[in-house]
Amino acid sequence: MSSAYTVGEVILEVKGLSQSRGGSPILRDLNLVIEDLIRPGMTMGQVVGLLGPSGMGKTTLFRILAGLDVPDSGTVTLKGKPIQRGLVGVVAQHYPLLAHRTVLGNLTVVGGRPPKELRASAMQMLDRFGVAEHASKYPSQLSGGQRQRVAIAQQFLCSDDVLLMDEPFSGLDPLAINRIINFINEIIQTDEMKTFIVVTHDISAALAVCDTIWCLGRDRDAQGQVIPGARIVKSFNLVERGIAWNEKAINSPQFFDCLKEIRELFPNL
């Protein structure tokens, strides 16, 4: 598959972001950007993986990117506008849905539009995600994969084109992980601006689905001492490495070389 692409508009940008808790720095002067990567003759959204050891501040960054928390300093913008709650969709680890509402009811509960219009939009979204036939069922009647599709459809209906996913591969067997990877690949090909930010500990899964990987870690001073507050210490462009947009990459030397590089990086984060 060709890896030729051009860079389009900035989708999400973070500048000089810092956050502390109880006087201790969690994130320090963090900068990052997600741009639209445009492939000639194809529709292809973006998938960015956020990796880092436990306790490194991934959850803090997740909440700030979602507009749920306000940083001590710095800015987060989505398509040039300040981030706020509701602009970015959030799918938690276990795809929480309202158990007492049907699938359709879970989408229409977001409100904000005339009921008839909202219902029509919800049905269109369920159809796009391949679960329209389950609209009248309750979450308990769905498989895990179906619940995931409904949760993502709900978030895309009530937010912009950017979706944060928290540990989507956690506790799953290889077949289930492949289904999620295939689903994400399917969705990002529906719209050029569709963007997933995947927070995960699963390096292999991240390499299999992402086009960019950010590694969150801490710098060290000249004496080798850790400087408090995490930053993006290394970014991997998986398109340039011949891994992203390549169906055969998972068995390629490039894939295993990058996997080894990230694993060796982790102890020093």
pLDDT score at 1: 47
Domain that holds residue 195: 6-87+162-268
Q: What distance in Å separates the CA atoms of residue 148 and residue 137, rounded to the nearest whole number?
A: 14
Could you give phi then psi for residue 171, rounded to 5 degrees?
75, 10
Name the helix (H) or strand (E) containing 253: helix 253-265
What is the chain's pLDDT, residue by residue, as a tens digit (269 residues)? 457 899 999 999 999 999 999 989 999 999 999 999 999 889 999 999 999 998 899 999 999 999 999 999 999 999 999 998 878 888 877 667 889 999 999 988 865 678 888 889 889 888 887 889 999 999 999 988 788 888 888 887 877 689 998 888 887 788 878 888 888 898 899 889 999 999 999 999 999 999 999 999 999 988 889 999 999 999 999 999 999 998 889 999 999 999 999 999 999 88
CA-based nearest residue to 102, from 117, 120, 122, 83: 122
Q: Is the dihedral of CA 210, 167, 186, 156 positive or negative?
A: negative
Question: Are residues 249 and 262 both part of a single domain?
Answer: yes
Question: Are residues 117 and 223 both part of a single domain?
Answer: no
Domains of the chain: total: 2
pLDDT in tens, 130-185: 889 999 999 999 988 788 888 888 887 877 689 998 888 887 788 878 888 888 89
Question: Are residues 59 and 173 both part of a single domain?
Answer: yes
Question: Are residues 72 and 191 both part of a single domain?
Answer: yes
pLDDT score at 110: 67
pLDDT score at 174: 86
Q: What distance in Å separates the CA atoms of residue 158 and residue 113, rounded to the nearest whole number?
A: 10
Question: Are residues 184 and 102 both part of a single domain?
Answer: no
Look-up: residue for tokens 């938690």? 92
Q: Is 93 part of any domain?
A: no
Q: What distance in Å separates the CA atoms of residue 155 and residue 39, rounded to the nearest whole number?
A: 26
Provide the 10 A C-beta neighbour count for residue 226: 12
- Tokens encoding 249: 């990459």
The CATH number of the domain holding residue 181 is 3.40.50.300
Measured between alpha carbons, how far is residue 18 from residues 66, 69, 70, 71 in Å?
A: 16, 12, 10, 6
Question: Are residues 188 and 76 both part of a single domain?
Answer: yes
pLDDT score at 95: 66
Q: Is 1 part of any domain?
A: no
